[in-house]
Structure 1
Amino acid sequence: MDAFGVDIGGSGIKGAPVDLAGGALAAERHKVLTPQPATPDAVADRVKEVVDHFGWSGRPVGATFPGVVVGGTTRTAANVDKGWIGLDAAALIGERIGAPVTLLNDADAAGVAEMTFGAGRGRMGTVVVLTFGTGIGSAVFTGGRLVPNTELGHLELNGHDAETRASSRAKEDGDLTWARWARRVQKYLRYVEGLFSPELFVIGGGVSRKADKFLPLIQGVSAEIVPARLENNAGIVGAAMAASAAATGPAGGV
């Protein structure tokens, strides 16, 4: 069965139908740039553009958001316009596309996909999935169950919001070499490990495609560290899973 997922990020909005039997995209994803400023109305228009590209009108859609989401309401907005804070974003986007929308945190969606189809499959200990992009998203699992909205990218590290130092954007903005950026990621992973003692870190986001350039440089972390198998499609897959679960069972069935 196919479902549809949209991944809303700080720099891009991408989506595709997903084959839920295998966790793979059922068509090549369509991506548009995130509007700047990323106001709710402007982003909703872009989500509609992605959905309409596939002729998915009238059918349920899952969507991710780069911040805390509780019951379809967006509580934080670190890398998008502050107008999202306290907004019933699921209702706004649903109105715009003319279909029910299930909204969840972007890293939580990616994590659910990786735990079901990817690098975390079958792991029942504590697993931390981290997505490195405009910011750093996090999803924490124990016993295979998600602890939602952890937002570990906003931990304070050496007096800074961690994602301002160790995200992919920080690498690009600072024109950092892989080695220098890896040292920052290493420091961040050690800090997270000290708090959660995970057995596994799964590193996702677009940078996961180049994992061979930085993961071998990371030292002093006891947990196993692996790249996300679904790479930057994990959010789309997880969003589609959420839409399917909402349509077939109680909300939050992912």
Structure 2
Amino acid sequence: MQSVGVGAPGLIDGRTGVVKFSGNLDWVDVPVVSMLEEKISVPVKLANDADCAVLAEAIAGAGKGHRNVFMLTLGTGIGGGLVCDGEFLKSGPGSMELGHMAISVGGKKCTCGARGCFEAYASATALIRDAKAAAMIDKASLMWQLCEGNIDNMNGEIPFTAADMGDETAKNIINSYISYLGTGIVNVINIFRPDIILLGGGISNQGDRLIEPLTRYVRKRVFAGERSYIAEIKKASLGNDAGLLGAALL
């Protein structure tokens, strides 16, 4: 073994090898690189896990053949990264934190402590939270049937399935989720103008029933609308291996 690559969530300082802050792991100033190099005696490179995933997708996955590839991972939080000509977009110390882009002034509280963050509305965690809350109000919702009567069985697929079955409460949840996710993507397109936007994480497994309404939402709201070039929104292809492969490519 000649070297090791590590992908970690949160604010990463790749120059010093330190995870400066990770709200979901409750890490502050964790010197990951020095800790590992002390144990394994080979060089270690550290990057944000979402950056690792988009690097792999750009080189060997759904973004292959595109110059500017943007990816959002929809899971516990939201990770995001942009690869331009095979390199991460870098603008200074740390890593891009798309999940903490504000989409609502004074909105819902995020795990980072701020309010109105993108991931507080559009992560898988947020979708499940909102679906549970709606089901608790509407005891006749088909989501209860799909949960087998146990709200703790709620997952990101259930509201999509219930919406397809005609459940109005689930439809409202999905429409709200699409608007939150779409708002974040509109911001990304207006700022970065990527060639393609890839969606990863468990929610991306909903495929066309996520991507088709999301694309319609974005096309109506991006600057200049249909007169503008609008990146294709597509499901990432490498699944849970994307972060691992990207770390190996560091």
Task: With the length of structure 2 as denominator, give the TM-score of the two structures.
Answer: 0.66
Q: Any residues of structure 2 matched to 1:193-204 within 5 Å, and which?
A: 193-204=189-200
Determine whether 1:208 maps to 2:204.
yes
C-alpha separation between the residues in 2 aligned to 1:230 and 1:61? 20
Paired residue for 1:73? Answer: 18
C-alpha separation between the residues in 2 aligned to 1:225 and 1:213? 13
Determine whether 1:122 maps to 2:65.
yes
Aligned in 2, Cα 1:102/1:161: closer, same or farther, shift over 3 Å? same
Paired residue for 1:188? Answer: 184
Paired residue for 1:47? Answer: none
Q: Find the residue that maps to 2:207 and give its secondary structure.
A: helix
Paired residue for 1:157? Answer: 103
Task: With the length of structure 1 as denominator, give the TM-score of the two structures.
Answer: 0.65
Which whole-Å deviations, capped at 9, do the CAs of 1:102-157 have from their partners, x for residues lacking one? 22100110011001101111211x32111111111111123332114211111100
Q: Find the residue that maps to 1:140 and give its secondary structure.
A: strand
Paired residue for 1:103? Answer: 46
Is contact 1:205–1:232 with CA below 8 Å preserved after alignment?
A: yes
Paired residue for 2:239? Answer: 231
Q: Any residues of structure 2 matched to 1:55-74 within 5 Å, and which?
A: 60-70=3-13, 71=15, 72-74=17-19
Matched letter for residue 234 of structure 2 = V
Give 1 or 2: higher strand fraction: 1
Counterpart selection for 1:90 from 33, 50, 56 = 33
Counterpart selection for 1:143 from 85, 109, 112 = 85
Is contact 1:208–1:231 with CA below 8 Å preserved after alignment?
A: no
Q: Any residues of structure 2 matched to 1:5-44 within 5 Å, and which?
A: none
Paired residue for 2:164? Answer: none
Give 1 or 2: higher helix fraction: 2
Q: How far did residue 98 of structure 1 move?
A: 6.5
Is contact 1:182–1:215 with CA below 8 Å preserved after alignment?
A: no
Counterpart selection for 1:170 from 108, 126, 138 = 126
C-alpha separation between the residues in 1 aligned to 2:42 and 2:200? 29
Paired residue for 1:250? Answer: none
Aligned in 2, Cα 1:99/1:112: closer, same or farther, shift over 3 Å? same
Q: Count the aligned residue pairs.
A: 182
Q: How far did residue 87 of structure 1 move?
A: 2.7
Paired residue for 1:252? Answer: none
Point out where structure 1 has 5 or more consecutive residues left out of the alignment. 1-57, 243-254
User: After TM superposition, what 4+ stretches of structure 1 lie above 6 angstroms from structure 2?
Assistant: none
Greater Rg over alpha carbons, structure: 2
Q: Percentage identity across aligned positions?
A: 33
C-alpha separation between the residues in 1 aligned to 2:41 and 2:209? 43
C-alpha separation between the residues in 2 aligned to 1:67 and 1:207? 20
Is contact 2:59–2:86 with CA below 8 Å preserved after alignment?
A: no
C-alpha separation between the residues in 2 aligned to 1:100 and 1:144? 22
Q: Find the residue that maps to 1:203 and give its secondary structure.
A: strand
Q: How far did residue 182 of structure 1 move?
A: 2.2
